[in-house]
Amino acid sequence: MKKFYLASVLTFLGLFSGQFAYAICPLCVVAIGAGLGLSRWLGVDDLVSSVWIGGLLVALIGWTIDWFNRKNIHFMFRNAVTALAYYLLVLLPLYYGHIIGHPLNKFWGVDKIILGTIIGTIITILAIVLHFWMKKNNGGKVYFPYQKVVIPVASLIITSLIIYFLIK
């Protein structure tokens, strides 16, 4: 219970530490990263926690591509190379550390971390698309404060809860 209380307080305080937003805002990255860290710390199943890995990777890829754009850095297949690099940097150490590939860590015949990362990636991309669609349909303005953060993070929370109850 102390772990949960401490994590809740730190997460709450972290929500108010953002300064400005880019394509994928730093606050999103921090919130998603905090959700991943919290779930691993509390011993949540790998399928649920790896949904947050997918979300964090999408946020970091978007943030990096936005940084490339601001610095006017362009090279062939930049976006694909960036995405591939992030996924490899995260998943290869898990594979070589024998965390991915364990025969008892599968769901639907797929490794839980791989499956969760795929689900988290898809959900986060859909949430970002939803945010921009809502903003476009509202004359370029958000419907509520921190919409850019709330929609992806809420989508990951809802997805995590659905998966949690499906596997329990």
Give residue-wise pLDDT tens across range 125-168.
999 999 899 999 988 888 888 888 889 889 999 999 999 898 87
Q: Is 4 a member of any domain? A: no
Is 82 inside any structural domain? yes
12 has a pLDDT exceeding 50: no
Domain contains 15 = no
Would the pLDDT of 19 be above 90? no
Cβ(90)–Cβ(118) below 8 Å: no
Q: Is 119 exposed, middle or buried (0-12, 13-18, 19+ CB in 10 A)?
A: buried
Q: Domain for residue 14, yes or no?
A: no
Confidence of residue 25 (pLDDT cuts 50, 70, 90): low
More confident residue, 149 or 24: 149
Residue 157 lies in a domain: yes
The larger pLDDT score, comparing residue 149 to residue 22, is at 149
Rounded mean pLDDT, 98-106? 80
Which residues does 28 contact at the CB level (< 8 Å), separation at least 6?
A: 59, 148, 149, 152, 153
Whether 3 is in a domain gets the answer no
Q: How far apart are CA 132 and CA 96, in angstroms?
A: 38
- What's the pTM? 0.73
Residue 10 lies in a domain: no
pLDDT at residue 70, as a whole number: 92
**79-83, 86-90, 99-103: least confident range:** 99-103
61 is a domain residue? yes
| Phi/psi at 145 (5° precision) | -60, 140
Range of the domain at 90: 24-167
> pLDDT of 27-79, one tens digit each?
655 665 666 567 667 777 888 888 988 988 998 898 899 999 999 988 899 99
Number of domain units in the chain: 1
